[in-house]
Structure 1
Amino acid sequence: MRTILSFFLFAVLTSCSSVSKNHYVIETEVGDITFEVYQDKAPITVGNFIKYVDQAEFDGAYFYRVVRLDNQPVNPVKIEVIQGDFTGKEHYFPVIAHETTLETGLTHKNGTISMGRFDVGTTAAEFFICINDQPELNYGGKRNPDGQGFAAFGQVIDGMDVVLKIQAGETDSQILKKKIEIKRIYAIK
C-alpha cells in the first residue's frame, strides 16, 4: 500500500510541475488570457518567447492590431487574429529560425498563439492569437506568398472572451484606436 501511495504522490507531483512550467498568463487591462506552450513541439519558438517573458519585456506591451473579416478589404485571404508587441522598444534578442506547422505538427485553430513575421527568419517578439480556425496561416497556406505559414507554439486554455473583447475594439484600418495594454506576461508557478 505504501508503494502505491508513493507512486501516486510522485505521479501527481510530477504532473503538476510539468503543467505549471508550460502555462502562462497574459494580464491585460481588460482581463487575463491563460495559455499553454508546447516546448516539445516548437522548442525554438517557445524558447524565444520565454526569453522575452523572463526578461519582463512584454510588461507594458500592447495588443495593437486586430484583423477581422470586415477590415481587410484588399486581401483575398481573410484571417481573424489579435496581435501584440511592445511599442517603442527594440527587440534585442536575435531573430529565430522559422518552425513551420509542417515541422511541429501544430496548426492555427481557434485560440492558437503564434509568432508574427515578415519574411522567413525575421521572427522576433510579435505574437498573435487566432480567432476561429485559420488554416491559411499553416504551412502551405495562402496568407503569405511564400507558403511557409507562421510558427504556432501555444494554445489559449482560458480567456477567449478577453480575446474576443479585444478583437471587437474600434479600429482605424487594422490598428486599434485604443491599444490594449499587456500589463505583464508571467508563468504560472
Structure 2
Amino acid sequence: MRSYCLLVCCLLSLGATAQNRKKKDYLVSVTTDYGPMTLVLYDQTPKHKANFIKLVDQHFYDGLLFHRIIESFMVQGGDPESRTAVAGASLGNGDVGYTIPAEFVPSLFHKKGVLAAARDNNPAKASSGCQFYIVQGRVWDDAGLQKQIERIKSNQGHVPTPEQQQVYKTLGGTPHLDGNYTVFGQVIDGLSVVDSIAKQPRDERNRPKTDIHMRMDGNWVRKKKISKKYGYSYQQ
C-alpha cells in the first residue's frame, strides 16, 4: 500500500510539473556589442525550438559573432568557427554536424524581427543545426511587394496572405524567403539592436569590419508575465 501511495504521489508530481511547464515559455536573452535583445521561440516549430534551447543551455553561442550582415535584409550568426576567427577570415561554413528538418508553417513569415534558420542549398531545405539569422528587411510598396510575390512563386515558396502582405507594407520584412527557410522565433524586445548591427561597415563578404559578439542566456518564465512585460500575444 505504501509503494502504491508513493507511485501515485510521483505521478501527481510529474503531472503538476508538466502542467506548470505549459504555463511557462523559454525566454532567450541575447547580449551584443550594440545592446540586448529578448527572443521567444515558437511552439509551432518544435524541432527548431528544442534544438535552440539545447544550444543556449550549453552556452554554445557565447563568444560567437554576427558574421554576416546586410542592411535592409538580415543579420546572421551562429558559426562556431567565428569564436576564434582572425580578422577578415571568411565565415559561414561552420556547423555542429547535423541538420534539422524544415518546419514550414504558413502563419510564420519573414516579418521584421523574426528568428529563422540558415541553411545551405540542400534539396530538402533542412536547416543548419546552429546558424540563424534575424530579419531586418524593409517596408514594401505595392509594386515592390508584387515583384517579391512573383519571386516567391518561381521559388515555390509560400505566397503571403493579404494580412501578411499588410505587415510587409507597414512593419517590413523579407517576403521572398517565405516557405524556403524555417521561421522559429522572434525578437520581442530590443528590435532596434538589429538595425544598429545591420548598418555597421562590412567587407566584400558581408562580414562586419569590427567583430560583433553575442552571448545568450535562457530562462523559463510564466507566459502571463511575458505578455504583460513585452506585449507579446500567444496564439491559442
Q: TM-score range by the shorter chain?
A: 0.7 to 0.9
Identify, as 1 or 2, the structure richer in helix.
2
1:85 is aligned, of 61, 78, 84, to 78
Q: Residues of 1 paired with 2:198 and 2:119: CA distance?
A: 20
Where do 1:102-141 residues align within 5 Å? 102=106, 105-118=107-120, 119=122, 120-131=125-136, 132-139=172-179
2:61 aligned with 1:58, yes or no?
A: yes
**Structure 1 residue matching 2:196: 3-state secondary structure:** helix
2:189 aligned with 1:158, yes or no?
A: yes
Q: Residues of 2 paired with 1:60 and 1:49: CA distance?
A: 16
Deviations along 1:121-169, one digit per CA (max 9) or x if unpaired, are 2521111111131111111xxxxxxxxx111011111111111110010
CA RMSD after TM alignment: 2.3
Q: Supply the AA of the counterpart residue of 2:186.
A: Q
TM-score of the aligned structures, taking structure 2 as reference length: 0.59
Q: Residues of 1 paired with 2:30 and 2:220: CA distance?
A: 11
Q: Which runs of 5+ in 2 are unaligned?
A: 1-19, 84-93, 137-171, 222-236
Where do 1:1-189 residues align within 5 Å? 17-18=23-24, 21-39=25-43, 41-68=44-71, 80-88=73-81, 91-92=95-96, 94-102=98-106, 105-118=107-120, 119=122, 120-131=125-136, 132-139=172-179, 149-173=180-204, 174-187=206-219, 189=221
TM-score of the aligned structures, taking structure 1 as reference length: 0.72
Regions of 4+ moved over 6 Å: none
Instruction: State the aligned residue count.
Output: 153
% same residue: 28
Q: Report the counterpart of residue 151 of structure 2 in structure 1.
A: none
Identify, as 1 or 2, the structure richer in strand.
1
Q: Relative to structure 1, is the Cα distance of residues 46 and 175 closer, same or farther in structure 2, using a 3 angstrom cutoff? A: same
Q: Supply the AA of the counterpart residue of 2:210.
A: K
Which is higher, the Rg of structure 1 or of structure 2?
A: 2
Q: Relative to structure 1, is the Cα distance of residues 171 and 49 closer, same or farther in structure 2, using a 3 angstrom cutoff? A: same
Q: Which runs of 5+ in 1 are unaligned?
A: 1-13, 70-79, 140-148
Q: Residues of 1 paired with 2:218 and 2:34: CA distance?
A: 16
